[in-house]
Amino acid sequence: MKARLHSIGMPNREPERPESAAVLQGTLDLMVLQTLATLGPLHGYAVAARLEQVSGGSLRLNMGTLYPGLMRLEQRGLVRGKWGVTENNRRARFYAITAAGRRQLAAERVQWDHTASIIHTLLREPK
Amino acid sequence: MIVLREWLSRLWGTFRRGRPDADLQEELRLHLELAAEDDDRRGSAPDAAARAAQLKAGGIAQAIEAQRDQRGLPWLEDLGRDLRYTSHTLINAPGFTIVAVLSLALGIGANTAIFTLMDAVLFRTMPIEQPDRLYFLGHDPGPLLELSSNFPIFERYQTATVFSGVTAYQSRTFLVRTSEATERVVGQYVSGNYHAVVGAPMALGRGFSSEADRQPGGSLLAVISHDYWLTRLGGSADVIGRMLTIGDRSVTIVGVTAQGFHGLNAGQRLHITLPMSVMALDAPRFFGDKSGWIGMAIVGRLASGVSEPEALAATDVLFQRFMQEPDNGWARMPGRDRFRAAALVPAARGTFSLRTQYSKPLWVLMAMVGLLLVIACANVAILFLARSTDRAGEMAVRLSIGAGRSRLIRQLLTESAVLALLGGAAGVMIAIWGTDAILSVFAIGPSPAAIDATLNVHVLAVTAAVVFLTGLGFGVIPALKSTRVDLAPALKDGARAIHGARRPTLGKALVVAQIALCVVLVTAAGLLAGSLSNLKDFDAGFSRDRVLLADIDISGARLSPENRLRFFSELLERMRGMRPVESVSFSSRTPIDFSSQLRRIEVPGFEAIPRNGVSPNTVTPGYFKTFGLNVIRGRDFTDADRQGTQPVAVISDAMARHFFGNGDPIGRTFVLGPDTHKTFIVGVVEDARHERLRSDTPSRMVYLPVAQITAGLDGTINAPNRLALSLRTTEEPAALAADLHREVRAINKDAMLPYVRTLEQQIDAALIPEHLLSTLSSWFAGIALLLACVGLYGVMAYNVARRTREIGLRIALGAFPTAILSRVLRETFVVSAIGVAIGLSIALAATRVLSTYLFGLTPDDPATLVGATGLLLSVALLAGFLPARHAASINPVGALRDQ
């Protein structure tokens, strides 16, 4: 990754994103929505920890991927973020899935199952 | 929907309405803490745990940056920042900004103004239904193309099924009487289906729909224009049903056409439309008149699914059949090269005479303003280049601390875009003012072309495109160039870096191009101005100065033929008595009055064919004196030449030579069609360019006395209702106009003077294209010269600034200031001489297109070329003098210490 440099008085924005973003684009939304739907409101770290746990440690989310992703979901009205307090009495921002988020999740799940079954059939085809 | 919501939210976030950075930071910090605690729990040392967490989760700074990008719209934020930065730099360099914006404003303004005219005259379609399906049914395609027809052929065309409707109109001037005055108004008689076929939009009431044409007086109705309704009838809502008195008849207003609709004659402001059945009241025979074309225009709307060639084929069949009808023998006269085929002419933009007349001048002007815009762009590019020296240090600093080159180019292009937009806005202002000024050139003559040259969406779209292109045009190269900085020396020397290897060739190339284009414009302007002055000075045979002309129309007074003659002779007497009047006369035509006539003449030994035709003018005694024409042989007319005496004529020298060679024409006779009596030649008068200034040979004129005009066989007097009065004065002729008005009204209050002008003004009206070209090209050449000067000055000043140390060193080593001065001037001279040389060769090739508008000189007129060269070189040296003087006055100590 190229080093980011900032010039004086003028931000230097190269149109680059963290590498993992490309891999996860699209599926990240689905995973986050599903996590929030099953476990209820969670803060960002809890979402990341859950995904890491479910994937057996192979899915490690960079903050630069996770938080812009959450922000995008929030901007789209699929989740709602609210400051709250953790069980250890720490201030944290909790994200909850909204009604629109559940509808989107349902739609995307159907889509995903459909795609997956096609891929599955294709790959299992006798040579 | 969902995505739209995200974008709205980001747009919101752009204006700092999203979550604040502190909020984001707190969230991220918690993430790291929790991650570290988790690692800690798994047994790592606290420090190592934190580091591991940080490593795994990525840096806070990067995450915040990614979130900021997601929060708002980064490009919009950048744009806002660029705009703020640009406004600072532009305000901090007011000289640069003003010169750049003015250059662009002049270039863009001139383009917008000319394009506005082109749009109004050449491109805009009539505000009617499906204009592209409407066609004029004319005849004789090619150079003889004409739209004039008559009623019988219109009736034949109406049977054609290739048209969904065919209609006809005949333009007329109506005399509208009100209790206060009588006014002449542009009008037309139309066939009953006119408004339906043309698809004319109505503001109020209805158009004619099915009024029968052959029903004299059956429908005394009128449709008026929106303008007429507003200006003459106060725009009142109850105008429908009101009466208008036109001529001797009352007609009922049934409709008002929508704003912008002025009939199909381009350049004419049509106000009153009457049905043809009203025309039949005065001229009942025109329905069956097949003796020639009477100026009726026929228009048809293609039936759906019919193509233009199909319609033309069907129309031509009808046309051929009509021309073969037994009583159309005139169409088959020997020597006629006409009436061969029907022609369909698209009517979407109305009649074509205005377009034919102005299409070439407008394209020539468009080419000129195009060059002007290139010069203006070059100017701004030069300014940018010159400024890039000042900013080399700034650019180097930015690049070295990591600003991307593309980001810097975007910043510089924002600057040029802002300048282009400012220039465009100011240019539109200039165009609004300029279009009015240009239109005033058109607004002369008896029926000035009405051109609706208001800015509209088309024009603004074109201007916007021009602005965009100019912004790119002058912005890209300097932006690319100034961001390619050799960092090390630029940083070391700051703004005063000496780029020894990089000479300012680009700037000089731009100046050479500017000067070359400038030479083209100046040469063209010189040729056009020279031609106009040649046209004005050249001896057309008649003397032009101190003559007042006035059309006198007494049709509104309803006088008997005898009383009409009495009216004219009384007016002659009254005017003759006035002190400054040298001579006074009446005539049916005056020199260069747009009229053109060719009459059949029977002279023993000559065939009566158009090639032997003559041009008639009926005059009173004194006409030759008024226009300074000498009688070469025989005598002038006298008051004794009147009704009942021998019909006499005075002929022009050209006519005498054509028919009688070197023999004596006095006493010979001829028969002038359509008369049948013999006319005796009593005198020969000098030739004059009576019809056209530019004609190579003077027309063959035959002059007849007004008092002897008779109507056909019975020999009764047919005194005209309208004659032109000509007054030769000893003082300024225009001063007499008020006296003339008073005297005319004193004799008869219903007499009208629709057009009073001096002979000079009348000639000017015939030279509108030449005036337009000459005036505008002079303006454009002047602007181009100014811009090129600024460009040259910019480049030389930049050059001197760049070499301050070198020049300082030279002076310190003993160079005389005059040597420095002449060195810089020599450089200026070389640059401009190259430009002039290139420009002259382009001009020699390009000015050929002007040859139709030139008079008395050729496109390679040496005087003009030498003049343009001299002008350009002297102006260039003037522009180069200031930087040269500055160079000579450089203080060596200061210059060297600053380095």
How close are the terminal C-alpha atoms of chain A, in Å? Answer: 41
pLDDT class of B490 with cuts at 50, 70, 90: low
- Quote the tokens at residue B531: 């031609």
Instruction: Give residue B715's region: left, alpha or beta (phi > 0; psi -120 to 50).
Output: left
- Helix and strand counts by DSSP (H, E) for chain A: 5, 3
Largest CA distance in chain B: 139
How close are the terminal C-alpha atoms of chain B, in Å? Answer: 62
| Stretch B726-755: mean pLDDT | 88
Contacts of B202 (CB under 8 A, 6+ apart): B195, B255, B256, B257, B258
Please indicate whether residue B330 or residue A105 has the higher confidence score (pLDDT). Answer: A105
Give CA–CA dist B62/B69, Å, rounded: 11
Residue of A nearest to B35 (CA): A45
| CB-CB under 8 Å, A93 with B27 | yes
Highest mean pLDDT among B53-62, B63-72, B758-767, B885-894: B758-767
Write phi, then psi, for B590 (nearest 5 degrees).
Answer: -125, 165
Please indicate whether residue B733 or residue B838 has the higher confidence score (pLDDT). Answer: B838
Residue B465 sits at the vertex; the CA angle it makes with B459 and B466, to the nearest 5 degrees, is 90
Give CA–CA dist B296/B351, Å, rounded: 13
pLDDT class of A16 with cuts at 50, 70, 90: very low
| Stretch B384-390: mean pLDDT | 77
Q: Give, in order, the Cα–Cα distances in Å from B447 to each of A63, B723, B740.
A: 79, 17, 21
Which amino acid appears at position B458 of this protein?
H
Give CA–CA dist B198/B423, Å, rounded: 42
How many Cβ contacts (< 8 angstroms) between chains A and B? Answer: 111
Residues of B in contact with A17 (CB under 8 A): 66
Position A11 pLDDT exceeds 80: no
Position B823 pLDDT exceeds 50: yes
Residue of B nearest to A44 (CA): B31
- Predicted confidence at residue B492, as pLDDT, reads 63
Tokens 């292109």 locate to B469
- Predicted confidence at residue B548, as pLDDT, reads 93
Instruction: Work out the minimum CA distance from A118 to partner chain B, whole angstroms.
Output: 27
Residue B631: how many other CB atoms lie within 10 Å: 16
CB of B60 within 8 A of CB of B28? Answer: yes
- Chain mean position to CA B761: 20
Give CA–CA dist B658/B611, Å, rounded: 11
Residue B680 sits at the vertex; the CA angle it makes with B676 and B683, to the nearest 5 degrees, is 140
Give CA–CA dist B628/B685, Å, rounded: 10
Residue B575: how many other CB atoms lie within 10 Å: 21
Position A4 pLDDT exceeds 70: no
- Predicted confidence at residue B16, as pLDDT, reads 67
Which amino acid appears at position B105 of this protein?
A
CB nearest B404 (choices: A14, A62, A90): A14
Tell me whether the omega of the peptide bond preceding residue B346 falls within 30 degrees of 0, making it cis: no
Interval B397-420: pLDDT, tens: 888 887 778 888 888 888 888 988
Give CA–CA dist B698/B690, Å, rounded: 7
DSSP for A49-111 reads: HHHHHHTTT-----HHHHHHHHHHHHHTTSEEEEEEE-TTS-EEEEEEE-HHHHHHHHHHHHH
Write phi, then psi, for B735 (nearest 5 degrees).
Answer: -65, -15
Nearest to B100 by CA among B383, B465, B457: B383
Interval B118-176: pLDDT, tens: 998 899 888 999 999 999 999 988 888 889 888 999 999 999 999 999 999 999 989 89
pLDDT class of A10 with cuts at 50, 70, 90: very low
Please indicate whether residue B822 or residue B57 has the higher confidence score (pLDDT). Answer: B822
CB of B890 within 8 A of CB of B811? Answer: yes
- Predicted confidence at residue B334, as pLDDT, reads 54
| CB-CB under 8 Å, A67 with B34 | no
- Predicted confidence at residue B589, as pLDDT, reads 92
Residues of A in contact with B81 (CB under 8 A): 10-11
Tell me the three state secondary structure of residue B476. helix
Interval B529-543: pLDDT, tens: 999 999 888 888 888
CB nearest A75 (choices: B10, B27, B411): B10
Position B499 pLDDT exceeds 70: no
pLDDT class of B727 with cuts at 50, 70, 90: very high
CB of B95 within 8 A of CB of B318? Answer: no
| Secondary structure in 3-state letters for B487-555 | HHHHHHHHHHCCCCCCCCHHHHHHHHHHHHHHHHHHHHHHHHHHHHHHHHHCCCCCCCCCEEEEEEECH
| CB-CB under 8 Å, A67 with B28 | yes
Contacts of B712 (CB under 8 A, 6+ apart): none
Give CA–CA dist B683/B635, Å, rounded: 5
Instruction: Work out the minimum CA distance from B70 to partner chain A, whole angstroms.
Output: 6
- Predicted confidence at residue A1, as pLDDT, reads 37
Residues of A in contact with B30 (CB under 8 A): 43-45, 90-92
**Percentage of chain B lying above the pLDDT 70 cut:** 93
Which DSSP letter does residue B717 get?
Answer: E
Tell me the three state secondary structure of residue B251. strand
Interval B503-527: pLDDT, tens: 567 888 889 999 999 999 999 999 9
* Mean pLDDT for chain B overall: 86
| Stretch B829-845: mean pLDDT | 93
CB of B883 within 8 A of CB of B825? Answer: no
Q: Across B195-283, where does the E strand assignment appear?
A: 202-205, 221-224, 243-246, 249-257, 272-275
Interface test with B, best of A5, A75, A105 (most B CBs within 10 A): A75
ipTM of the complex: 0.77
Task: Tell me which of A63-67, B436-440, B711-715, B849-853 is least confident.
Answer: B711-715
| CB-CB under 8 Å, B401 with A68 | no
Nearest to B566 by CA among B776, B706, B462, B667: B706
| CB-CB under 8 Å, B78 with A18 | no
- Predicted confidence at residue B267, as pLDDT, reads 86
Instruction: Work out the minimum CA distance from B239 to partner chain A, whole angstroms.
Output: 59
* Mean pLDDT for chain A overall: 78
Task: Tell me which of B300-304, B378-382, B682-686 is least confident.
Answer: B378-382
- Predicted confidence at residue B611, as pLDDT, reads 80
pTM of the model: 0.80
Residues of A in contact with B65 (CB under 8 A): 4, 64
CB nearest A67 (choices: B3, B6, B67): B67
Contacts of B138 (CB under 8 A, 6+ apart): B145, B146, B147, B148, B149, B298, B342, B343, B344, B345
pLDDT class of B491 with cuts at 50, 70, 90: low
CB of B647 within 8 A of CB of B670? Answer: no
Please indicate whether residue B7 or residue B652 has the higher confidence score (pLDDT). Answer: B652
CB nearest B401 (choices: A8, A44, A78): A8
- Residues in chain A whose Cβ is within 8 Å of chain B: 4-14, 17-18, 43-45, 48-49, 60, 62-65, 67-68, 71-72, 75-78, 90-93, 100, 104
Interval B31-44: pLDDT, tens: 888 888 887 787 76
Beta-sheet pairing, B249-257 with B221-224:
parallel
| Stretch B444-448: mean pLDDT | 75
Tell me the three state secondary structure of residue B182. strand
Which DSSP letter does residue B271 get?
Answer: -
Q: Give, in order, the Cα–Cα distances in Å from A117 to each of A30, A105, A123.
A: 17, 18, 10
Q: How many residues does chain A have?
A: 127
CB of B101 within 8 A of CB of B108? Answer: no
Positive or negative, the CA dihedral B88, B91, B92, B97 is positive
Please indicate whether residue B866 or residue B95 has the higher confidence score (pLDDT). Answer: B866
CB of B847 within 8 A of CB of B524? Answer: yes
Give CA–CA dist B615/B601, Å, rounded: 10
CB nearest A71 (choices: B34, B38, B70): B70
Please indicate whether residue B749 or residue B346 has the higher confidence score (pLDDT). Answer: B346
| CB-CB under 8 Å, A77 with B5 | yes
CB of B626 within 8 A of CB of B545? Answer: no
Residues of A in contact with B10 (CB under 8 A): 75
Interval B548-604: pLDDT, tens: 999 998 888 888 888 888 899 899 999 988 888 889 999 999 998 888 888 888 888
Nearest to B121 by CA among B366, B343, B370, B429: B366
Interface test with A, best of B26, B70, B81, B415 (most A CBs within 10 A): B70
- Quote the tokens at residue B226: 């929106």
Give CA–CA dist B72/A13, Å, rounded: 13
Position B892 pLDDT exceeds 70: yes
Instruction: Work out the minimum CA distance from A125 to partner chain B, whole angstroms.
Output: 37
Positive or negative, the CA dihedral B73, B79, B81, B83 is negative
B272, β-bridge pairs: B187, B224
Position A96 pLDDT exceeds 90: yes
Interval B779-796: pLDDT, tens: 999 999 999 998 888 888
CB of A52 within 8 A of CB of A59? Answer: yes
| Stretch A45-67: mean pLDDT | 84
Which DSSP letter does residue B135 get?
Answer: E
Task: Tell me which of B29-43, B168-182, B293-307, B614-628 is least confident.
Answer: B29-43
- Quote the tokens at residue B208: 């004619």
Nearest to B147 by CA among B130, B170, B124, B166: B170
pLDDT class of B82 with cuts at 50, 70, 90: confident
Give CA–CA dist B305/B140, Å, rounded: 26
Q: Give, in order, the Cα–Cα distances in Å from A108 to each of A29, A112, B538, B604.
A: 10, 6, 88, 104
Instruction: Work out the minimum CA distance from A6 to partner chain B, whole angstroms.
Output: 6
B651, β-bridge pairs: B684, B702
